[in-house]
Amino acid sequence: MMMMATSTINIGGRKKREQYLFLIIFLCTCTIFFQSFSLSVEAASNSGGLKYTRHNSKQVSSLRLQRIEKRLNKINKPAVITVQSPDGDIIDCVHKRKQPALDHPLLKNHKIQKEAPERPKAMKMKMKHTNDKDEGINNNNGDEAAAAVEGKGKEGAWVVQQMWHRNGTRCPRGTVPIRRSTVDDVLRAKSLFDYGKKKQHQPPNNFNFNNNLTADLAARRTDAPDVVSGNGHEHAIAYTGSLQEVYGARATINVWTPSIEQANEFSLSQIWVLSGSFDGSDLNSIEAGWQVSPELYGDNRPRLFTYWTTDSYQATGCYNLLCSGFIQTNSRIAIGASISPVSSYASDQYDVTILIWKDPKLGNWWMGFGGNTLVGYWPAELFTHLAEKATMVEWGGEVVNARANGEHTATQMGSGHFAEDGFGKASYFRNLEIVDSDNSLSSVRGVSTLAENTNCYNIESSYNNEWGTHFYYGGPGKNSRCP
């Protein structure tokens, strides 16, 4: 009897142990599954570098979700057709008369400009486009472009490159492509108000401004108000003299994928067309170029972008089409969509040409991408100072330095290499031009340059017959000389 009892107890213990073991295996399997699922969601929403998890809408209050959906309904207009991009973007083809721009109160009676704007008359250039159907990206073969720097090379072939085009789909005539905004896009922003906006540049209390833009820039060079203020915007730019009449600008910029250290930082390369003062109240700015912004787009891809403001980034304006204002006319270029391929270190260089100019007849500010592609325009009604003309142009790079852990960011500008590294390694702007009162493009001579901290990011300008006025710029951010 005792032996039997003991045997029964042993069998019961073995069963319990098997049950416990099964339970442990089951829980471990579930844990691995959910971890794998989480990682796959992260991988699907980024292209390397930082990891971005999708927000759980159940953790967001219903009131906040209602507010976000209301905002998204204003931005995301009903689509005629929808295109799923290989990079995860959704591109909505929206009827051009239904686009967000026309919701602006100043554009209630605005009629979309049908007449093509008068294009600026270009000066004679040795470098020619191979056709008039390009959408903006030029592949500069390393040998040819290096020779071009020396004034004896020729330009590479123009190619069509926006990621959402890869499946061959285009938006039909009469529509414009708009990158769809999502709840996750908004939740990555600091607030609903901040979504799609740059942080306001506020100078330190002891910074003395006047209305002379040259003096402002000179003071900005020594005191670097954007950095001291805590906003952390750092630049490496070339700029024209102030108080002259400018009606547009053009340049060609090579495209890279700079590494971004913090999700709330960005790195961009752009043209600024400016008028007004830098005192934080009435600066008018029109901007276009390429940028990498994890917070705005949820990945590390370089993207074509635009921006505008009439009150020094306080309340007016936004990136791309994330508020009413910019009127898109092109059915093939999606503002905010990723562009590729990108330049490689010591290898092929890919660049984009950006042109911004004021139509002398109707006064709207147009944007051109590539050789002959019109993207759209900022209506003159939006602006105060820029309603007439610009007084300054800037070209170059900008990063946000969040100073996490009290150290300078390792977010790269451009290629992440300093200007002195030169072609194929450093980023460049070439063929800097401005549009004069006769609507003619002319090469810029004698630009000034500015870099707040040359140990982190720098710039070097030059001139030759092929690239006209050009400069190399950029840097790695944090390094032994930039703690």
Q: What are phi and psi of 2, to 5 degrees?
A: -65, -40
Residue that is written with structure tokens 């004896």 in the block: 152
> Taking phi first (over 0 means left), then psi (-120 to 50 degrees means alpha), and beta for anything else, what does residue 84 get?
beta
> What's the rounded Cα separation, in Å, for the pair 351 and 429?
9
CA distances from 442 to 48, 326, 354, 393 (A): 40, 26, 15, 13
Q: Active-site residue among 234, 265, 295, 398?
A: 398
Burial class for 475, CB neighbours closer than 10 Å (0-12, 13-18, 19+):
buried
- Give the DSSP H or E segment for 17: helix 2-44
- Whether the CB-CB separation of 440 and 446 falls below 8 Å is answered with no
**287 given a catalytic annotation:** yes
User: Angle CA(235)–CA(294)–CA(340) in degrees, nearest 5?
Assistant: 85
Q: Cis check for the bond before 341: say yes or no (omega within 30 of 0).
A: yes
> What's the rounded Cα separation, in Å, for the pair 483 and 477?
9
Burial class for 162, CB neighbours closer than 10 Å (0-12, 13-18, 19+):
buried
Helix ranges, 263-409 (H): 294-297
**What's the one-letter identity of residue 127?**
M
Nearest to 291 by CA among 275, 310, 271: 271
- Give the DSSP H or E segment for 137: strand 137-140
Q: What 3-state class would DSSP assign to 107? A: helix
Q: What 3-state class would DSSP assign to 49? A: coil
> What's the rounded Cα separation, in Å, for the pair 59 and 70?
18
Number of residues that make up the chain = 483
Q: Active-site residue among 234, 287, 295, 433?
A: 287
> What's the rounded Cα separation, in Å, for the pair 367 and 137?
15
Q: Which two tokens stand for residue 72?
A: 């998204």
Helix ranges, 133-173 (H): 142-149
- Whether the CB-CB separation of 219 and 208 falls below 8 Å is answered with yes
- What strands, in cross-sheet order, belong to the sheet with 81-84? 81-84, 90-95, 175-179
Supply the residues annotated as catalytic: 287, 398
